[in-house]
Chains A and B, each alone.
Chain A
Amino acid sequence: MSKSPMITLNDVSKRFVGSVDDAVTNLSLTVDDGEIVTLVGPSGCGKTTTLRMINRLIEPSSGTITVAGSDVGTVPVHELRRTIGYVIQQVGLFPHRTVRQNIATVPSLLGWDTDHIGSRIDELVDLVAIDRSILGRYPLELSGGQRQRVGVARALAADPPVLLMDEPFGAVDPVVRGHLQGELLDLQSRLHKAIVFVTHDIDEAILVGDRIAILNTGGILEQFGTPGELLARPANQFVADFLGSDRAIKRLSLLPIDVSLLEPSLPGTAADQCMAAIDVGATLKEALDAIVSGNGRDVAVCAEDVCVGTVTIDMIHRRLTE
């Protein structure tokens, strides 16, 4: 690759004062521009510690971390943090400040003038889908989902190239979490930030991560790769266990239907089959679901009422083993 990563961790270790074990051990990772890397692992795997070393809320014991090419240890800490967005589970909105003032925090610290801040808030309100009417409210007057969106808007306010998120959707109910995850991916497709996303939920890690770093106790990196790579070829038993016993199904959910590989559909039955068919944009997981709840062998694939082929159970099997 020609371009250098936005974030680089090079052989980073952390041992807390008074502890005999490393919280993070010789960790090396990269995060590219426009990429979401999820850090996932059990409690005590050092994922939050790793995140917090990037903006120097925790100083590493050894190793170097660079952001946008410069060693974070050489940048004045307050300046560094103003260029890195940060979102945490408890959000940490300032209770004594209105939504508008909360969002304006970093721009104010950077000394932007009032007009500049005002127009930036207008942009963010649209970007993060905040209802304009809540701008004058205090955090105590918001719902959990609203707080989380305001937290994201605050983190993005000064348009930082890097965003750190520590279990950002851990405190909201599953329905709202689903919405927020979708909104994050949508946001990322427009903003192309380098995002480090900590979670303990492997499904969330697979859903939002372009690449996943699976960490073990003591901050040992067990495997680092795309969700597809990890699910197809887990490096060891720990990774396999962590990914779960439904690894094959999870993998299918990442694989789209490949039209060029479809079996021809049976002549003359297209219209009938399309009654129970799946859309060409579906994943193989959805195809499998349609098969097992149908005839158990195959299912027709349609694009706008025209049958384009058939997915068979053998074909799904081949895709998983190839």
Chain B
Amino acid sequence: MSLVAQTSNQPLIVWDWIGRNLTNIWDRTVEHIVLTVIAVGIGVLISAGLSLIALRWRRSYSPITWVAGLLYTIPSLALFTFFVPFTGLSVLTAEIGLVSYTLLILVRNMVTGIVEVPSEVLEAADAMGYSRRGRFLRIELPLALPVIITGIRLATVTIIGLVTITSLIGLGGLGYFINRGLQTFSSPIGTTQIFVGTVLSIALAVTADLSLVGVERILTPWRTRRIGR
């Protein structure tokens, strides 16, 4: 069944519908953003903790990424519905699933970012008389920032896509429209809803990605600013 197969006198997009539902579209967009920000925020906190453990005890890195990798491979449909009997059709259920998906990307980039700080820079920092903690906060962390932010960008874009799946448990942000549209697929209202949900979701992902690139530029002027040579 393709959209093009619709009878030709029916419009694919009902622009009126969009105008009539602006409030709802706005609310769902906000919901989408809130679900994403909570997921990435909590994901960053948990991943930071896991990364510190992995960096402190290097042997724990493999098991940590193994578990995070396992979570990453669970089909999202299964993950969101698995917790419903325990936590109901709630934001908590949605976030448990969403946060799980951020961990692998974030832990891997956080650890890689720190580990890849050049050894001569660390040697110089030690020789200048930095404490272990001072070296981490003022040398290693700032230098790892580009890789860490890349991880956050990847996680954010992934989560913005995944939030739409949470429409299965009554949330979904813009996924709500996609889900509704699929249920009334043959009607112009249906295709309009799918169109609105999809386009806005993509727009959110692109905006988030570009904003984070901007944040990275501001936080790491030493990487982008090169004069000649």
B: residues with CB less than 8 A from A are 118, 120-121, 123-131, 134, 139, 142-143, 220-223, 225-229
Q: How large is the interface on A (under 10, 10 to 19, 20 to 34, 35 or more residues)?
A: 20 to 34
Residues of B within 8 A of A92 (CB): 118, 120-121, 123-125
Q: Which residues of A contact B129 (CB under 8 A)?
A: 77-82, 106, 109
A88→B123 contact, CB < 8 A: yes
Which residues in A have their C-beta under 8 angstroms from that of B124?
A: 86, 88, 91-94
Q: List A contacts of B223 (CB < 8 A).
A: 95, 140
A84 to B226, CA, bound (A): 32
Residue of B nearest to A97 (CB): B222
State which of A80, A82, A94, A137 has its C-beta within 8 Å of the C-beta of B125. Answer: A94
- Whether B128 pairs with A105 at a CB distance below 8 angstroms is yes
Contacts of B120 in A (CB 8 A): 88, 90-92
Min Cβ gap B64→A in Å is 27
Q: Is the CB of A141 within 8 A of B127?
A: no
Residue of B118, B129, B134, B228 most packed against chain A (CB within 10 A): B129
CA distance A138 to B143 in the complex (A): 13
A57 touches B126 (CB 8 A): yes
Query: A260 within 8 Å of B by Cβ?
Result: no
Q: Is the CB of B131 within 8 A of A78?
A: yes
Q: Knowing A94-B139, A141-B227, A141-B229, say if A57 contacts B125 (CB, 8 Å).
A: no
Specify the chain B residue showing the minimal Cβ separation from A81: B129
Contacts of B139 in A (CB 8 A): 94
Q: Which residues in A have their C-beta under 8 angstroms from that of B127? A: 55, 57, 81, 84, 86, 88, 164
In the complex, A96 has a CB within 8 A of chain B: yes
User: Which residues of A sit under 8 angstroms from B227, Cβ to Cβ?
Assistant: 137, 141
A to B CB contacts below 8 Å, 20 in the list: A57-B127, A78-B129, A80-B129, A82-B128, A88-B123, A88-B124, A88-B127, A92-B124, A92-B125, A94-B143, A95-B143, A96-B142, A96-B220, A105-B128, A109-B134, A138-B225, A140-B226, A141-B228, A141-B229, A142-B229
Chain A residues within 8 Å of B142, by CB: 96
Contact at B128–A86, with CB atoms within 8 Å? yes
Report how far A80 CA is from B131 CA in the complex, Å.
12
- Chain A nearest CB from B119 CB (Å) reads 9
Q: Which of A45-63 contact B (CB under 8 A)?
A: 55, 57
Task: Return the 3 tightest CB-CB contacts between A and B, nearest first.
Answer: A92-B124, A86-B127, A90-B120
A143 interface residue, CB < 8 Å from B? Answer: yes
Closest to A140 in B: B226
Give the contacts of A87-122 with B (CB-CB under 8 A): 88, 90-97, 105-106, 109
Give the docked Cα–Cα distance between A154 and B128 (Å).
9
